[in-house]
Amino acid sequence: MKYDLPDELIVECDGPIRTVVINRPDELNAVNKALHWALANVWRQLAADREASVVILTGAGRAFSAGGDLGWITSFLDDPVGRDESIREGAQIIEEMLRFPLPVIAAVNGPAVGLGASLAVLCDVALISERAHLADPHVAVGLIAGDGGAAFWPLLTPILRSREFLFTGDRISAATAVELGLATRSVAPDALLDEARTLAHRLAALPPEAVRGTKRIVNMYLSQALGGPMQAGFAAEVATMQSAAHRDRLLALHENARPR
C-alpha cells in the first residue's frame, strides 16, 4: 500500500509490521505543521492497509520527539486560525490513536517531550530506552497541559506523583517512567528496535480478532475517562495560548533557542 504522507513521517513495511518513523532528526523530531498533519492522518491510512497487523512508532536519530517545533508554535501568537487548526488536529491525533484497531508499540529511543510524551503513552505498549526520558513542559511556557499530561497521566500514574512532574516539567527518567506506569519497560538502547520488532512479530502471530477486540475493550476505559478532561483541557489550553505570560515565556524560549 502507498501512504500519502509528507517526508516528516515515514512508514516502513516488513511483512505484517509497519514501522512509523518520526523523521525530523536534525530538529530532534520536533513537530512542525506538516508532521502534525501527518500524525493526525496516518492512522486511517494504516487501518486501511490490509496487510498490516502491528505498528511500531519510533523516532529517527537520537530523539523520539522533542515536542512542538518552537518556530511553528510561536507563529500561533499572531495566527489564531493556525492555532485553532492545531488544536483541532491535536484532538484528532488522540481520537485516531484511541480508535486505531491494531496494536501499537512505542519504541521510545530518546527524549519524548510534550506531544512526544503523549504519543508514547497513547501507544498500547511503550518500550523506552534506558537513555530516554519523558517530560511535559506546558506549564513552564504558561500553558495548561490540556492536550497531554493533565488529561492522560492521572489515568496511568498516582496523581500525587504526576502532579509534581506536570507542574515543574522536570524530566522523568526511563526507570521512573516504568515505575509510574508511563512506560511498559525499559530496554538497553542498542536492543530497543530489535525488542520492539520481536514483540511486534509475536503479536502479529496471535489471532487478530482476539487482539483487536481486547484492545478495543481496554481503550473504552480510556475513551470514557478522557471525555470530560480532554474537552476541558483543550478549551483551557486555548485560553492560556492567548495569555501574556505564555507570549512572554514562549518568545524568550524561542530567542534563547536560536543559533548564535
Cα–Cα distance measured from residue 11 to residue 218, given in angstroms and rounded to the nearest whole number: 26
Domain segments of the chain: what residues?
9-208
Cα–Cα distance measured from residue 143 to residue 129, given in angstroms and rounded to the nearest whole number: 28
Helices (H), the chain: 33-47, 70-75, 80-99, 115-122, 149-156, 159-168, 174-180, 192-204, 208-241, 244-257
Of 191, 212, 207, which is closest to residue 55 (Cα–Cα)? 212
Reading the chain (260 residues) residue by residue, the pLDDT tens digits are 889 999 999 999 999 999 999 999 999 999 999 999 999 999 999 999 999 999 999 999 999 999 999 899 899 988 999 989 998 999 899 999 999 999 999 999 999 999 999 999 999 999 999 999 999 998 988 888 777 788 889 888 999 999 999 999 999 999 999 999 999 999 999 999 999 999 999 999 999 999 999 999 999 888 877 777 777 777 778 788 888 888 888 888 777 766 54
Measured in Å, how far apart are the chain's first and last C-alpha atoms? Answer: 44
Q: What are phi and psi of 158, to 5 degrees?
A: -60, 130
pTM over 0.75: yes
Please check whether the domain covering 9-208 is classified as CATH 3.30.920.30.
no
